[in-house]
Structure 1
Amino acid sequence: MSEVRWLSEDEQRVWRSFMTAVTRFTEHLDRQLQRDSRMPVAYYEILVALSEAPGRALRMSELAALCHSSRSRLSHAVAKLEKEGWVTRRACPSDRRGSIAELTSEGFAVLEAAAPGHVTAVREHLFDVLSVEQLEALDGISRAISVGLRAECASAKAELGEF
């Protein structure tokens, strides 16, 4: 076992600052969507993914990957969206084991109503508080973190049988 590379004082500060910002930002977006649109940010992300898909429909496995969700968590969320009448599910014609989630007209209308408030919150608390240079740096940083985690996430999901 290799020796632990403990964080320096500066690294600890950056780590805590990063985690605080991500947590507060996500909590703010969730509160805004709950207050204004009766849905958590995870449901909004599902509706967005479906709205951008051809025919506003995706296989559940594809939807889970796009939403960075486990299949079981996604299935639970889609069940709630079905109860609201925002999404329907049907069997996949090419694979009886798979199912397809489809955004309903009502779901699309709910998404259209929720989008302005959500975009305003994102703009006010991310884009408006950072300079162009900071946004470019954030983009690069975010991509580097995602690339660094991509292989590990795929490996972990394969071990759990999620793909």
Structure 2
Amino acid sequence: MTPDNTPDAGALRPEQLGTYFALMEAVSLLQRAVEQQLQTEGDLSYVQFQLLARLADAGRPLTMTELADGVVYSRSGLTHQAGLLEKAGLITRKPSSHDQRATMVTLTEEGLARVGRVLPGHIDVTRRLLFASLSDDDVDALGGIMTRVRDHMRQQPDSTARGRRTAPKNLRGAVPSE
């Protein structure tokens, strides 16, 4: 509020500020637990897990651009992470036979096994920390709200993820069969 008791256009209302802080703290707590689980059980960063999980979910090779959809990470950083996964034998990369500008990424058997090893713990952490305190209606409401927020953020001119598709496929809690 300004000295004359009119709302300051640049300020957040107390309920907005409280919601912002609760969201940021919840995201930080969940992210820390997920990253710890992935590191402990699979020697993976969260971004590396995202790449492997997207490949496992697709069940086919993907281009680097397809992998980047839904991942908020710089292109050079994503290329670096893919290089680390390739060096570890979890993926392979090669030029596309249809488009020489595209790089095809394939999940190796070892990569699929790594996803299979970390996914149960990842699901457990997510279920325990995020979903245990929510009803089915809460999950539906939160999903709708966060989808709108994400889509709004991706439409902003300064978004690092603008122009990418808005919704990656959800993991269904299982690794695709070989």
Question: Fold match, TM over 0.5?
Answer: yes
3-state SS, counterpart of residue 156 of structure 2: helix
**Runs of 4+ residues deviating >3 angstroms:** 153-159
3-state SS, counterpart of residue 67 of structure 1: coil
Name the residue aligned to 2:121. Answer: 117
Name the residue aligned to 1:102. Answer: 106
**If each structure's strand is expressed as a fraction of its own residues, which one has the higher value?**
1
TM alignment of 1:86-97, pairs within 5 A = 86-97=90-101
Matched, 1:142 2:146: yes
CA contact (8 A) 1:88 1:101 kept: yes
TM-superposed CA distance for 1:157, in Å, is 5.4
Name the residue aligned to 2:38. Answer: 33
3-state SS, counterpart of residue 73 of structure 2: coil
TM-superposed CA distance for 1:65, in Å, is 1.5
TM-score by length of structure 2 reads 0.80
Closer/same/farther in 2, CA of residues 158 and 20 from structure 1, 3 Å limit = closer
Name the residue aligned to 1:23. Answer: 28
TM alignment of 1:124-139, pairs within 5 A = 124-139=128-143
One-letter code of the match for 1:143? T
Question: Which blocks of at least 5 consecutive residues in structure 1 are unaligned?
Answer: none
How far apart in 1 are the matches of 2:157 and 2:39? 29
TM-superposed CA distance for 1:5, in Å, is 2.9
CA contact (8 A) 1:32 1:117 kept: yes
Structure with higher RCO (Cα < 8 A, 6+ apart):
2
One-letter code of the match for 1:98? A
TM-superposed CA distance for 1:69, in Å, is 2.9
How far apart in 2 are the matches of 1:7 and 1:87? 45
**If each structure's helix is expressed as a fraction of its own residues, which one has the higher value?**
1
Matched, 1:78 2:82: yes
**Deviations, residues 17-66 of structure 1 (Å, cap 9, x unaligned):** 111111111111001111111111211111010112242x1111111113
TM-superposed CA distance for 1:4, in Å, is 4.4
Closer/same/farther in 2, CA of residues 58 and 51 from structure 1, 3 Å limit = same
Matched length: 156
Question: Which blocks of at least 5 consecutive residues in structure 2 are unaligned?
Answer: 1-7, 164-178
TM-score by length of structure 1 reads 0.87
- Aligned-residue Cα RMSD (Å) equals 2.1
How far apart in 2 are the matches of 1:136 and 1:31? 27
